[in-house]
Structure 1
C-alpha cells in the first residue's frame, strides 16, 4: 500500500504507465485523485500539507456543495459529515426594499455545507487508505518543481498552487472580462445566529450580497456568512475590520442591509467562532490557458482554481471544480497519449461545463437586467417560479440559459404554468 511521503517522493503508483501527477489537495485535486483511483489509474497527489495540517489551518473558504457534487461523492464512496442540520432543504431570497422582495422554496436536493478543514482531510484519508500516494511538499510549488515532478509521470494535472499557476497558465483575456475584483469579500464562522437548515441569500442594491448557511465545523453547527461587498460601498468595512471587531461591524450591517438575517441574531451571543475562522480579501475573476508544455516534454493540464477562478457570488467554485475533475478523470482513464492535443481536447470538454458557470457568475456581478428583475418579481408572487429561481444554484447550464434569455423568462412569467426544465 502506498502512503505519505515528503519532498519529491519516490513511488510511482500503479495503473496506466507511470501514472498521473496531481498538484493540489482541494476539492478538484482530491476528486480527481479519488476518481482515477476508483478507475484503476495510478496517481501521486502532491500537496503543501497533510490532513492534520489542513485540520489545524485557517478557514480556506465557505463552500456549499450542491446535489450533483454530493452525488459524485456518493459514487466515490466518500460521503462524510451528513448531519441533517447542515443539509439545507430550504432556501430563501430577500432583496432590500420598501417593502422587501422576498420568497422561499424547498430544495429537492439539499445543499450541504461542511468546513473544508473537516471535509478535505476526510477525502485525503480516503485516498491514502485506499492505496494512494501522497507527497507533502511543505510549500507552494513553482513551475520548476512541477516540471521536476513531471519526470515521474505521463501527465501532470495542476489543481492548485499560487506560484506554479501564474507561471504555467497565463490569463485568457478573451474569457476574462474583468481585470480587477468586482467584490471585496469577508467569509466567517459565527455563533449566535441559528435559522435552522436554511440557505439565505440577501441582496442590498448598490451595496452587495450576504449569504448565510448552517455549516458543520470543528465547533459543531455554526453560521457561515459570506459578505460580497461592492468596492467603495457600505458593506466594505466588514471586509477590512480586525477579527475582534468583525462581529460587531457585521451585525450593524446586517440590521441595515439584511434585516431578515438580523432578526435571527442573538446580539449577546453573536461572535466570530475563533481567530482562524475569518477570511477577508478579494478575487479577480480569471480564466487561464489550461495547457502548458513543460521542459521535461510532459504536459500540464489545469483544473479547478488553477484554471478558473470565479467570484463566489453564485456559489459554484467547488461544484464546478468537482465537475471538471470528473470530466478530466474520465478522459484520462480512456487512455493516452497524454500529449498537448489530449490536454486541449480535455480542456474543451471541461469548458462545456465551465462556460455557463463563468458567464452566469460574471453577469451576476453587474446590476440585473430588466428581464431578470421581472423574473424575481414574479417569483415573489408565484411559488412555482420561486421554486425555479432558487433551484438555479443546482443547475448552472439551465440557469445561464434561462437568465441570458429575455424571451424564455417572458414565456415563464407570462405563461401561467409551471416551467419545465431538466436538471444536470
Structure 2
C-alpha cells in the first residue's frame, strides 16, 4: 500500500491534496469528474473565503481570481425594526468571493499539473467503493458529503441538535445591481436572513444573493419559485425584509444570469463520527462535508473545510502508522477549530441572546464595535469565545474588552 487516498474534490479534498503534495506525501485523488466537469452544472454555493483560507491557498501557490471587485473589504448589517438597527464597517481582512465552478477546477488543474494522480469515476462513491480503494492506500480520507458515503460515518447526536433544516435556502447570481466591495447581512426577525455580495463568476464580476428562510415564514416560498419567476418574487419581498438591498437594485434590469445560476434546497446541520474502521483493515477519516455540515448562515463551510484539511495534512505528513488511533488524534486536533464554528453556527440559527443583542446595539453607535462584529466572520474561534460569553460581551460594550 502506498500513499493517501482522498475521496472528493471540494475545497477540503483539494486543499488536502495540494498540501500533502507540497509536503512530499504521495496521494491519489478520487473524483466524480475532471476539471472541466467541475466547471459545469448548477451554482453549488455562494461562498466568501476568509483570510485563513486565502493564506492557505497563497502558501500553496494556488490563490486564483484576485480581482479587487471580489475582495470584500467592508460590510453592512441591518436588522429590520422600527427603527432598524444598522451599521456599516470595514472588516479586518478582506473576504474573497469566487464561484466554485471557477475555483475548484483551478485547484484541480494545479494538483494535476504538479504531478498529482487523479482517478475520475462518475459513479457517486459509496462505502464499498471506499473500502475497495483503501486496499491500495495507507489511509483513506473522505471529503465528500454524498449520502452514500455518510453510511461510513454515523450522525453524532451529541453535536447534532437539529433533526431537520433550520433554514430553507435559495441562492442566485444576478444582473441589475452592484453592491460594490461590501457584503450585506440583512436580518428579518422571525422570517430569516438575506445576504449579498459581489462574486467572480464565469460571467465576470456579478452580485450574488442568498436567502436563508425560516421554515414556515414568508421567505420560504423562494425555495420553490422556478427560475422564470424568481426575480419578480424576490423583488416583492426585499423592500420589507431587506430594504437596504432593495435600494441597490434596478428592477428593470434585475434578472438571473442563467437557469444554472439558481440554487434551492436545505441543509440539516449535522456532525458525524469522523473515523471508520473498514472491513479490510484500513481506516477512513472524514473531513469537510463528510464530517460536518453546517448551515451557511455564518459563511463558515468552506473556511472550516480548508482549516481542517490543513490540520489533517500536517498530521499525515508527520508520519503514521495511519491507524484508528492516529485518525482519532487527528480528529481531536481538527475539533479544536470545528467545535467553535459548529457551536456558533447552531446558535446563530436561534433568536439572539440578550447579550448578543446588546452587542449589536453598541455596534450601531460605535465604529470600533461595528468593525469587531463584522470581522468576527473571519475569526470564528474568537467569534464564539465572545458571543458565548455575556461577560466578554459586557466588557466590549463597556469599552474594556
Both structures adopt the same fold (TM-score exceeding 0.5):
yes
Q: Is residue 140–residue 161 contact of structure 1 (8 Å, CA) maintained in 2? A: no
1:365 aligns with 2:332: no
**Corresponding residue number in structure 1 for 2:52:** 68
- Structure 1 residue 161: deviation in Å? 4.5
Q: Distance in 1 between matches of 2:158 and 2:266?
A: 21
**Corresponding residue number in structure 2 for 1:179:** 163
- Residue 384 of structure 1 aligns to a residue whose secondary structure is helix
- Residue 245 of structure 1 aligns to a residue whose secondary structure is helix
2:317 to 323, 333, 339: 333
Matches within 5 A, 1:209-224: 209-224=193-208
- Structure 1 residue 99: deviation in Å? 1.3
Q: Is residue 19–residue 41 contact of structure 1 (8 Å, CA) maintained in 2? A: yes
Q: Distance in 2 between matches of 1:139 and 1:210?
A: 35
**Corresponding residue number in structure 1 for 2:175:** 191
1:57 aligns with 2:45: no
Q: Could you list the structure 1 runs, at least 4 aligned residues long, displaced by more than 6 angstroms after superposition.
A: none
1:342 to 326, 331, 337: 326
Q: TM-score w.r.t. structure 2 length?
A: 0.99
5+ residue gaps in structure 2? none
Matches within 5 A, 1:131-170: 131-170=115-154
**Corresponding residue number in structure 2 for 1:403:** 387
Q: 1:297-335 CA deviation, whole Å, 9 max, x = no partner?
A: 110000000000000000000000000000000000000
- Structure 1 residue 162: deviation in Å? 1.2
5+ residue gaps in structure 1? 1-16, 420-424
Q: 1:53-88 CA deviation, whole Å, 9 max, x = no partner?
A: 111221111111001110110000001000001101
Q: TM-score w.r.t. structure 1 length?
A: 0.94
- Structure 1 residue 187: deviation in Å? 1.1
Q: Is residue 141–residue 161 contact of structure 1 (8 Å, CA) maintained in 2? A: no
Q: Is residue 95–residue 101 contact of structure 1 (8 Å, CA) maintained in 2? A: yes
Q: Distance in 2 between matches of 1:187 and 1:260?
A: 18
**Corresponding residue number in structure 2 for 1:235:** 219
**Corresponding residue number in structure 2 for 1:14:** none
**Corresponding residue number in structure 1 for 2:10:** 26
**Corresponding residue number in structure 1 for 2:80:** 96
Q: 1:343-372 CA deviation, whole Å, 9 max, x = no partner?
A: 000001100100000000000000001100
**Corresponding residue number in structure 2 for 1:280:** 264
1:115 to 82, 86, 99: 99
Q: Distance in 1 between matches of 2:384 and 2:40?
A: 38
1:81 to 57, 65, 72: 65
- Residue 69 of structure 1 aligns to a residue whose secondary structure is helix
Q: Is residue 159–residue 303 contact of structure 1 (8 Å, CA) maintained in 2? A: yes
**Corresponding residue number in structure 1 for 2:398:** 414
- Residue 49 of structure 1 aligns to a residue whose secondary structure is coil
Q: Is residue 80–residue 119 contact of structure 1 (8 Å, CA) maintained in 2? A: yes
- Structure 1 residue 252: deviation in Å? 1.1
Q: Distance in 2 between matches of 1:200 and 1:121?
A: 28
